[in-house]
Amino acid sequence: MRTIFNIVSLVFFSHLSTGWALDIALPEMGDSAGALISPREEQEIGQAFFWRLQQSADLVEDPEVNSYIQSLGYRLASNSDAPNLNYTFFVVSDPTVNAFATPGGYVGVNSGLILTAANEDELASVMSHEIAHITQRHILRSFENSKRMTIPRTAAMIAAALLGAADPKAGSAAIMAVQAGSIQSQIDYTRANEAEADNLGMQTLVRSGFNPEAMPSFFEKLQKASRFYGGDAIPEFLRTHPVTTSRIADARGRAAQLKVKPRLSDHEQFYLVKEKLRVMMAQNSQDLIKYYQQQLTEDKSENKDALKYGYVLALIKSAQYTLARQHLMPLIDKEPDRLAYQLALADIELSVGRVNAALDIYEDNQRLYPDDRALTLNEVHALLITGRPDRAAKLLQTQIELGEIGRQVYKLMAQAKGDMGQKSESHAWLAEFYYQSGLLEAAADQLHLAAEAAGHNEYQLSKIASRLREVESAMSEMENK
């Protein structure tokens, strides 16, 4: 009998050639559904989805953006009903307003949603809502009314629903093929799930020190925007997370009953990350510069420093380094310990060829922010440019030991080891990069190359053989779907 993982993989990987829409928002996963699937199988479904997503969508790789979204996500998750689950938070480079959650603790946020959120509380409200979908295992609960369905049939329904997030027509067709007449009941369950996610998400917000009123106010903002712009402009988040006037009113009523216990939080970082994303997403640098010039002339908000920072990044993007420095230095004089400003200054130094000056900035800030991921990865890039791979490898190894892993870290480690002449280890680390990216065959190929380069190093050969067995086992699961 096919496993749940294999059935879901069949749906995921048989559609490799169809493309993957970025407006992903899933029907969601409760405790009573645990009889249908084990935590391990749930994790495998999420991993398969994330592998496929990485191959089909542009994920934001910027370490500052990722560090911020992960920090915010872990803060919320630690105050959720399931703080011990393994969570993965990431940003999809897509202008649509959307967020989504999958089995296994994967929470994605589109860059468009971050740019639309007025403040950190609004962003946190959406993320806490998605975390609640995970803790309550809403995807399986959507199907638990079908008591007569076998586990494989239930898994097929889950896979069809996941596929529907990427291609609504294909998803609906697949669901109908598995069980006719189930769509209406699924919608009904989704409404119940949404209300539960609102309630639990709001509690998570309060425990995390955020304003629960942000959730209904943000949903109301999106709802009003969709009315103004018309049906085709409805934010994808509202298409997949239907919001009614009564639901907003209910959420607002619950928020009024919850007492906020504010916690220390660097809200300014949200605005800086938002402007960095704006610059990263912009296609025309000159239009971007004009935007900031106009905003700085008209804007009288408290976040003017963030706008100035965005303007600096826009100038760097258009190679106007002298002007960028002139506008950056007043920000640094005002907040010399603000890491985002220091990293921007280092970017300018690197861009004009002053690599050692950039390294000095990184080293100075390591004393204030030891082992910060964004700082470390930027420093690693500079070290590799200047031919100091041994120092780069040590910094990366510390990140790995701290649990700050990911395909970006693995790829840099592969480069560092290669520059050090350690070919076997370079191939082995590149294998980890491919594995994290869902490219299992490429990972296996790199491990074979690592074994060839290991010579008679029995310890290295043993490690490679063990890892190769794990990779080939995962490949076998895929092939035997």
Q: Any binding-site annotation on 133? A: yes
The answer to whether the annotation marks 61 as part of a ligand binding site is no
Q: Are strands 88-92 and 99-102 parallel, antiparallel or unpaired?
A: unpaired
Q: Shortest CA distance to 424 belongs to which of 400, 453, 396, 448?
A: 453
Q: Of the listed 94, 122, 130, 379, which one is catalytic?
A: 130
301, 323 Cβ separation under 8 angstroms? no
Which amino acid is residue 387, in one-letter code? G
Give me the phi and psi of 473, to 5 degrees please.
Answer: -65, -45
> How far apart are alpha carbons 421 and 434 in whole angstroms?
21
Give the chain's radius of gyration (CA, Å): 24
> Tokens 């990044």 correspond to what residue?
313
**181 phi/psi in degrees, rounded to 5:** 80, 10
Q: b/e map of 386-418 (b: 16 or more CB within 10 Å)? A: eebbeebbebbeebeeeebebbbbbbbbbbbbb
Structure tokens at 166: 């990427």
H, E, C per residue of the chain: CCCHHHHHHHHHHCCHHHCCCCCCCCCCCCHHHHHCCCHHHHHHHHHHHHHHHHHHCCECCCHHHHHHHHHHHHHHHHCCCCCCCCCEEEEECCCCCCEEEECCCEEEEEHHHHHHCCCHHHHHHHHHHHHHHHHCCHHHHCCCCCCCCCHHHHHHHHHHHHHHHHCHHHHHHHHHHHCCCCHHHHHHHHHHHHHHHHHHHHHHHHHCCCCCCHHHHHHHHHHHHHHHHCHHHCCHHHHHCCCCHHHHHHHHHHHHHCCCCCCCCCHHHHHHHHHHHHHHHCCCHHHHHHHHHHHHHHCCCCCHHHHHHHHHHHHHHCCCHHHHHHHHHHHHHHCCCCHHHHHHHHHHHHHCCCHHHHHHHHHHHHHHCCCCHHHHHHHHHHHHHCCCHHHHHHHHHHHHHCCCCCHHHHHHHHHHHHHCCCHHHHHHHHHHHHHHCCCHHHHHHHHHHHHHHCCCCHHHHHHHHHHHHHHHHHHHHHHCC
Verify whether residue 198 is a known catalytic residue. yes
Q: Is 129 annotated as a binding residue?
A: yes
> Is residue 458 among the annotated active site residues?
no
Which of 64, 122, 198, 347 is labelled catalytic?
A: 198
Which residue ranges are tagged as binding site? 129, 133, 194
Residues serving a catalytic function are 130, 198
Which residue ranges are tagged as binding site for Zn(2+)? 129, 133, 194
